[in-house]
Amino acid sequence: MALVTTTEMFKKAYDGGYAIGAFNVNNMEIVQGITEAAGELKSPVILQVSKGARAYANHTYLVKMVEAAVAENPDIPIALHLDHGDSFEICKSCIDGGFTSVMIDASSKSFEDNIALTKQVVEYAHAHGAVVEAELGTLAGVEDEVVVEAGQESYTRPEEVEEFVDRTGCDSLAIAIGTSHGAYKFTADQCTRNENGILVPPPLRFDVLQGCIDKLPGFPIVLHGSSSVPQDFVKMVNEFGGEMPDAIGIPEEQLREAAKLAVCKINIDSDIRLAMTGYIRKYLAENPSHFDPRQYLKPARQAVKDMVSHKILNVLGSNGKA
Ligand code: G3H
Ligand code: 13P
Ligand code: ZN
């Protein structure tokens, strides 16, 4: 199967009450870990590339690695998506360079400017066989050069989504319902403590999600910032020389509930980074004389695969849907 757009994936996911995982790729081990998991579980998957990933690994290397993964996994649909495109030019460059999907993230602009830029990208993308994800509302957290402090985010306004989708023609919409980018999603002040003293983040705003669904029946919704920051991995990082105090994510049960609704794409990146880093730290601490990168990247790649398998089975529900 060649690279596909997300159109068919999202239609089946919407009707089937599951979501497709969108995982960021930056190097070969990450591409392999994700696609081996998706291939074995017969799950469709979205591989996404940020502006930072293109700067790190180079567009051509990333596309060629994804093409290799497509050749190695001919039985599953794979989409190649630009994550958080911030200009028409980067979207055009990715579409011209083989991506099947792009995100134009003009969510920090005014409503009218967001519409104008999104529409320009949609016109180009649709004329070239690609699809477009847009965003309304802002998430907290760090993404590329943009930092939004916790408490400064703004939820999507359901009363705006219908006009936005009608006027832009976008194919999916990322909304803000309380998820956040990175591994430090909430400050201690925003959380409560359970009976064991563990920090519990504020629940996702399912009322905002439902409001958007009511205005856009049948339309695919996207959630960014959906890593759960598993505490076992935070402990592993901290045990082997790292320092990640107060790292906290979105509870997986809430994401599973969202996936049963209109949420068709769930973005997960930080959990993959955390799993890789935990295993690399552990390996090097336990084998101080080793210096062959293959030795520590092998368990790191396996950790990516295990993390993605876990997400497919327990959060997304996309296993067996290829
Ligand atoms: O939301 C952004 C993704 O986690 C990609 O992050 O800009 O560090 O590549 P990056
Ligand atoms: P996390 O930082 O929660 O993994 O979110 C990733 C993301 O939204 C990429 O666009
Ligand atoms: Zn994002």
Is 288 exposed, middle or buried (CB count within 10 Å of its CB: 0-12, 13-18, 19+)? exposed
Tens of pLDDT, residue by residue over 188-221, are 888 998 898 888 999 999 999 999 999 999 999 9
Q: How far apart are CA 248 and CA 267, in angstroms?
A: 16
Residue 21, ligand 2, Cβ within 6 A: no
Residue 181, ligand 1, Cβ within 6 A: yes
Contacts of 90 (CB under 8 A, 6+ apart): 51, 82
Residue 226, ligand 2, Cβ within 6 A: yes
How many whole angstroms from 146 Cα to the centroid of ligand 3? 11
CB 111 within 8 A of CB 131: no
Phi, psi of 62 (to 5 degrees): -65, -45
How many whole angstroms from 17 Cα to the centroid of ligand 1? 27
Q: How confident is the model at residue 66 (pLDDT cuts 50, 70, 90)?
A: very high
Compare 176 and 147 and report the one with higher pLDDT.
176
Q: What is the pLDDT of residue 135?
A: 98
Say how many residues make up the chain: 322
Q: How far apart are CA 190 and CA 168, in angstroms?
A: 35
Q: What is the pLDDT of residue 111?
A: 97
Residue 24, ligand 1, Cβ within 6 A: yes
Q: Residue 82 has which token pair?
A: 């630009």
Is pLDDT of 164 > 90?
A: yes
pTM: 0.96
Distance of CA 203 to the CA centre of its chain: 19
CB 44 within 8 A of CB 318: yes
Which position has the token pair 């359901």? 158
Q: How far apart are CA 150 and CA 136, in angstroms?
A: 17
Q: What is the pLDDT of residue 147?
A: 67
Q: Which residue CA neighbors atom 8 of ligand 1 most closely?
A: 144
How many whole angstroms from 135 Cα to the centroid of ligand 3? 10
Return the active site residues.
Answer: 83
Is pLDDT of 146 > 70?
A: no
Which position has the token pair 């935070």? 234
Mean pLDDT along residues 94-118: 97
Range list of H helices, the chain? 7-16, 28-40, 51-57, 59-72, 88-96, 111-127, 158-168, 206-215, 231-239, 252-260, 270-286, 293-311
Mutate to test the pocket of ligand 2, among 221, 250, 267, 273 (most ligand atoms within 8 A of CB): 267
Q: How far apart are CA 308 and CA 132, in angstroms?
A: 24
Mean pLDDT along residues 115-131: 98
Computed on alpha carbons and rounded to an integer, the radius of gyration of the chain in Å comes to: 19
How many CA atoms lie within 13 Å of 98's alpha carbon, on the beta-carbon side? 15
